[in-house]
Amino acid sequence: MYLCMNYYVWTIGCQMNVADSRRLESALEQLGHTPVERAEAADIVVLNTCVVRQSAENKIYGRLGSLKPLKEEHPETVIGLMGCFVGRGDASRLRRRFPWVDVTMPPSDPRPLLDYLTERGLVDDDRAMETAQDLRRYSLQDGDLMLPARERETLVSAYVSVVLGCSHACSYCIIPYRRGPERSRPMEEILDEARALATQGVKEITLLGQIVDRYGLDLPEAQRPEPSLPSLLRQLHRIEGLKRIRFLTSHPNWMTDELLDAVAELPKVCEHIEVPVQAGDDQVLARMKRGYTADEYRRLVARIRERIPGVSIATDIIVGFPGETREQFQRTYDLLAELRLDKAHIARYSPRPQTLAARQFEDNVPPEEKERRRKALDDLQGEIVGQINACLLGETVEVLIEGKKKDRWWGRTRTDKLVYFEDDADWRGQLAQVRITWAGPWSLIGEVNTISR
Ligand code: SAM
């Protein structure tokens, strides 16, 4: 028996979830299913979830709630729950709490859904077996790694997970509990995936890992070429068709000179580093279990800037960590003002179940004070980025064009700045030379050099 069903995948959270959803969609399409735009029109609905902060978790409850009446009206609709809300352990508690969910899947692993569909005779056995076999390797195999329909011929930039899970255990972070311990994917598998993406027109890949610089450290030493992020970058650099390579997220303790030199040396690797500082006060950093001091972070920023000319640096910060005093917060503010980084993702601390911080410390910075601190950093960073970007006025920058919004083409510079311009020609997937005519903190506008096409 063979059934063609409609599917709908809803994704929130980090770039890794976006990569996981793409893999799930590829698998469903390999089984002959078709994407639709709304859950109500689908036979299979999957929520791919994030719980890094309570606000993300609340969105899941909202979505799950709206699926209950849908399931009551159409009991044959298959409802799947995937990602960090599920985690890697026993999900029976979740199934009891949300009985309208038919199947749960850990992060990065769509196989339970395929098993469920097979057991119920909802897919052809041979095809399901083939797909499940492909999924046993992390990626679908070579030629079979088809982009899902919504991305075919349009996707310019794709995420590729290279390190799954995390073993660092920052005291505030739920990810190690939900994504499990650190596991690097074999280098050959990543290269196959990158080649398959390039063959399908993808021009830029971003390698993902919670601490991406640790790539390979858990793999057998005997593997050749030696598995490390710099050696992976060198191998990926040879792939024809790929124009740019990025990676994130770095951890200050694992950024080796070898890695920085590879970024500086390899023309396709973009000079952009995402390296979270999280706080500018040493006591807070120690309670976060980050493993470095503010001064060490300062020296790291200097080292990155010294070794990679023209580099841009992004960071993450958490405000209102338990016990963070006004003076301690001020140190974070001063550090951000001093370092003048290109981007800062600022989050209010949110206690997460199981984590050391939630078990040991009281969440004692009031919500209004957390918001005040978040806004102060946001305003400061807006001002800094506004000034950095203003220096680009009149400059010509290289932009990889990802698509068109309204009448404007948009893309990113090598340093990850968003640029818009208007032109009648088709620029998707092209590297454009753009002269910047307007600069704001969040985006730039320019005129394209049409001869560069
Ligand atoms: N693994 C990376 C790192 O070095 O932290 C990033 C992963 S995490 C999904 C992205 C960001 O979420 C973190 O950098 C941190 O700023 C923020 N985050 C994690 N746990 C948080 C929590 N409990 N409350 C608020 N923000 C949190």
Helices 125-136 & 15-30, crossing angle to 10 degrees?
150
DSSP secondary structure, 165-182, as one string:
S-----TT--HHHHH-S-
Q: Is residue 271 within 8 Å of residue 245, measured between CB atoms? A: no
Q: What is the mean pLDDT of the chain?
A: 93
Q: Taking residues 90-94, report their average pLDDT.
A: 91
Q: Give the model confidence (pLDDT) of 439-449 as tens digits.
A: 999 999 999 99
User: Phi-psi bin for 184: left (phi > 0), alpha (psi -120 to 50), beta?
Assistant: beta
167 exposure class (CB count in 10 Å sphere: 0-12, 13-18, 19+): middle
Q: List alpha helices for 32-77, DSSP H.
A: 54-73
Q: Is residue 232 within 8 Å of residue 273, measured between CB atoms? A: no
Ligand 1 pocket mutation pick from 316, 321, 345 by most atoms within 8 angstroms of CB = 316
Closest ligand 1 atom to Cα of 210: 1
Nearest alpha carbon to residue 346 among 378, 392, 314: 378
Closest ligand 1 atom to Cα of 170: 5
Number of helices (H), then strands (E), in the chain? 14, 18
Q: Is residue 79 within 8 Å of residue 67, measured between CB atoms? A: yes
CA dihedral 76, 82, 86, 88 (to 10 degrees): 120
Nearest alpha carbon to residue 411 among 421, 396, 423: 421
User: What spacing in Å lies between the alpha carbon of 331 and ligand 1's midpoint?
Assistant: 19
Q: Band of the pLDDT at 140, cuts 50, 70, 90? A: very low
Q: Give the model confidence (pLDDT) of 351-373 as tens digits.
A: 999 999 999 999 999 999 999 99
Q: Please determine, for residue 125, whether its predicted confidence score (pLDDT) is greater than 90.
A: no
User: What spacing in Å lies between the alpha carbon of 346 and ligand 1's midpoint?
Assistant: 10
Q: What is the pLDDT of residue 133?
A: 62
Q: Please determine, for residue 81, whether its predicted confidence score (pLDDT) is greater than 50.
A: yes
Q: Please determine, for residue 142, whether its predicted confidence score (pLDDT) is greater than 80.
A: no
Structure tokens at 365: 């910075």
CA distance 197 to 155: 9
Q: Is residue 239 within 8 Å of residue 226, measured between CB atoms? A: no
* Pocket lined around ligand 1, Cβ cut-off 6 Å: 14, 52-53, 172-173, 175, 210, 249, 251, 276, 278, 316, 318, 347, 349-350, 352
Considering all CA atoms of the chain, what is the largest pairwise distance in Å, rounded to the nearest integer?
67
CA distance 99 to 418: 43
Q: Please determine, for residue 250, whether its predicted confidence score (pLDDT) is greater than 70.
A: yes
CA distance 361 to 76: 46
Question: Who's near 264: CB < 8 A, 6+ residues apart?
Answer: 271, 307, 308, 309
Ligand 1 pocket mutation pick from 20, 161, 251, 318 by most atoms within 8 angstroms of CB = 318
Q: Please determine, for residue 8, whether its predicted confidence score (pLDDT) is greater than 90.
A: yes
What's the alpha-carbon Rg for the chain, to the nearest Å?
Answer: 23
Closest ligand 1 atom to Cα of 249: 2
User: What spacing in Å lies between the alpha carbon of 421 and ligand 1's midpoint?
Assistant: 33
Nearest alpha carbon to residue 293 among 248, 252, 323: 252
